[in-house]
Structure 1
Amino acid sequence: MWDRIIFCGLVICLICLTDQTQGQKTPLVVQGTDCTQIKTLSPRATSGVYVIQPAGVTSPFKVYCEMLVDGGWTVFQRRTGAEVLFNRKWAVYKQGFGNLQKDHWLGLSKVFDLTKGGRGLNSTMRVDLWDFEGGTAFAEYSDFRLGTEKEAYKLNVGAYKGNAGDAIRGKYAGIDQNGFGFSTTDKDNDGCSPCIFGDIAENTCSFSEGGGGWWYSRCGSASLNGDWHPAGEHIGWNSGLHWATWKGPAPYSARASRMMIKSVWKKIITAN
């Protein structure tokens, strides 16, 4: 159905953008509104960096597309090591950082643009996880979107499926992260004022997660932007790449993580 929608000037639009990695102007072709559309229009498209322009967005930008059997996914977070530090402040998390072909955070403003909906589309968010023992797991959430910047890019997710567990809604009651704004060390939007963990009072979850930004609630059991820990040093740390419904009981920092989104058509329910 993608080809029934008029994306005038998006798919084959020659523009001139400033290439941030080279520091010079380079002619680039806008290849679609997102990775899902690119894969739909070009089924043989392979994974790599593409230029997209979501509907209603004036400035195109680059993304990394994972072109899988079930469609094109736009990657907005990747962690595989300690080369890229994720202890960043609000402005940097908003803009994005890292290398699109390696470890990076795409940017809250770009993820908002990709998930604000319209034209009958929703977004599915997928989290892929890798451990140090050769295992993998995933979690998928329907109806994924972020609130506006004034709403601190509030997290909204729908139904869960997968084998990693629903860590966003929590390993135990009272720590649901759905509906909370994004927090960094310089912009606290979590639910702790303070949170009491045994004999420890926690006011700012981002500090205990090594400065990593995330959608904390009462800190919560999902957090993938903390410090990366190597093999042998990945168990028992308060900071890390945590998906607590997958590993435990001691805190376990994953070897790698990837977060990405795919556009899907909204289900229309009609009365009989």
Structure 2
Amino acid sequence: MRHLPGCCGIILVFLLGCAGQLKEEQQTITPRGTDCTQIKALSPQARSGVYLIQPPRVKRPFKVYCEMRADGGWTVFQKRSGGLVSFNKPWAEYKNGFGNLKEDHWLGLNKVYSLTKDRAKKWTMRIDLWDHHGSTAFAEYKNFRVGSEKTAYRLNVGKYRGNAGDAIRGAHEGIDQNHHGFSTADRDNDGCSPCIFGDIVESECAASEGGGWWYSRCGSASLNGDWHPAGNHMGWASGLHWHTWKTSEPYSVKATRMMIKSVEKSTFF
């Protein structure tokens, strides 16, 4: 190997070090796409897992779990499969997110807002449900989005399809949760002032239903309450409820997943 003068050797080492550091930083912070749908479209062989995304007009990229399906890439914003992660959290944690992206988690309302405020796209939300006996069901809603924190992350969903029933818009109990803000135990934005259910007076849905959700007059959809194991999943006010699927009495499902997929407006029907 040819000997380099001391000064040149120092400069070469410095340059190589900078290049290595720059490459490492690029690998760490360069986003892979604006959302999971774009990642899947650009890399059709991409597998489900954690990816870095950066929605338009968002300064810092953030990590999400992408569920890569035959119908596109879906950005997961809620997953529940057991009781290890408590979803009885205050407003700040529902705003910013909690849990492990590869396991049970809530992505964060701020991140969901940063995705769905992109008016160049429309969004479909899919909710997957699993019961304690191996059965599954799903509900999909077009035109999904949430508002900013100033609106209490107000929910908007459009046309429904699926086999779980339209619980959000009150197909079972007639209580429409669409266009309502998000509520937690420490920030009440529901429609009860109070609500009367038989001989029960309810002022804050989050207090009895648990966790955080887009409550109106409480309602028939609520997937962030207490998780109940098989044998202890019937009759509880707090649970993972989707009453249009299991209607005999309050039934807390075994597992849930909520995720969104973007569609360009020109191809959205």
TM-score above 0.5, yes or no = yes
Relative to 1, partners in 2 of residues 1:207 and 1:83: Cα closer, same or farther, differing over 3 Å?
same
User: Using the alignment, how far apart are the partners of 1:14 and 1:169 within structure 2?
Assistant: 49
Shift of 1:118: 2.5
User: Using the alignment, how far apart are the partners of 1:75 and 1:27 within structure 2?
Assistant: 21
User: Using the alignment, how far apart are the partners of 1:44 and 1:14 within structure 2?
Assistant: 24
The two structures have a TM-score, normalised by structure 1, of 0.87
2:208 counterpart of 1:208: yes
User: Using the alignment, how far apart are the partners of 2:169 and 2:25 within structure 1?
Assistant: 43
**8 Å Cα contact 2:48-2:66 kept in structure 1:** yes
User: Using the alignment, how far apart are the partners of 2:161 and 2:76 within structure 1?
Assistant: 19
Q: Which residue of 2 aligns with 1:264?
A: 263
Relative to 1, partners in 2 of residues 1:60 and 1:216: Cα closer, same or farther, differing over 3 Å?
same
Q: Which residue of 2 aligns with 1:91?
A: 92
Q: Which residue of 2 aligns with 1:195?
A: 195
Counterpart residue identity of residue 30, structure 2: V
Q: Which runs of 5+ in 2 are unaligned?
A: 1-21
User: Using the alignment, how far apart are the partners of 1:249 and 1:15 within structure 2?
Assistant: 56
Counterpart residue identity of residue 141, structure 1: Y
Counterpart residue identity of residue 234, structure 1: H
Shift of 1:268: 7.6
Shift of 1:174: 4.3
Q: Which residue of 1 aligns with 2:45?
A: 44
2:242 counterpart of 1:243: yes
Equivalence map 1:163-182=2 (5 Å) = 163-172=163-172, 174-182=174-182
Q: Which residue of 1 aligns with 2:136?
A: 136
User: Using the alignment, how far apart are the partners of 2:37 and 2:95 within structure 1?
Assistant: 23
Query: SS of 1:126's equivalent?
Result: strand
Query: SS of 1:129's equivalent?
Result: strand
**8 Å Cα contact 2:66-2:74 kept in structure 1:** yes
**8 Å Cα contact 1:139-1:164 kept in structure 2:** yes
Shift of 1:267: 4.5
Q: Which residue of 2 aligns with 1:64?
A: 65
Counterpart residue identity of residue 105, structure 1: W
Counterpart residue identity of residue 117, structure 1: D
Q: Which residue of 2 aligns with 1:224?
A: 223
Query: Higher helix proportion, which one?
Result: 2
Query: SS of 1:253's equivalent?
Result: coil
**8 Å Cα contact 2:156-2:178 kept in structure 1:** yes
Query: SS of 2:93's equivalent?
Result: helix
The two structures have a TM-score, normalised by structure 2, of 0.88
Equivalence map 1:24-39=2 (5 Å) = 27-39=28-40
**8 Å Cα contact 2:172-2:244 kept in structure 1:** no
Counterpart residue identity of residue 76, structure 1: F
Relative to 1, partners in 2 of residues 1:90 and 1:192: Cα closer, same or farther, differing over 3 Å?
same
Counterpart residue identity of residue 55, structure 1: P
Shift of 1:16: 4.5
**8 Å Cα contact 1:36-1:263 kept in structure 2:** yes
User: Using the alignment, how far apart are the partners of 1:227 and 1:173 within structure 2?
Assistant: 21
Q: Which runs of 5+ in 1 are unaligned?
A: 1-12, 18-25
Query: SS of 2:102's equivalent?
Result: coil
| Bigger radius of gyration | 2
Counterpart residue identity of residue 133, structure 2: E
Shift of 1:175: 1.0
**8 Å Cα contact 1:15-1:30 kept in structure 2:** no
**8 Å Cα contact 1:171-1:244 kept in structure 2:** no
Counterpart residue identity of residue 194, structure 1: P
User: Using the alignment, how far apart are the partners of 2:196 and 2:185 within structure 1?
Assistant: 19
**8 Å Cα contact 2:172-2:243 kept in structure 1:** no
Shift of 1:29: 3.2
Counterpart residue identity of residue 84, structure 1: V
Moved over 3 A (4+): 13-17, 171-174
Query: Higher strand proportion, which one?
Result: 1
Q: Which residue of 1 aligns with 2:10?
A: none
User: Using the alignment, how far apart are the partners of 2:194 and 2:174 within structure 1?
Assistant: 14
**8 Å Cα contact 2:67-2:73 kept in structure 1:** yes
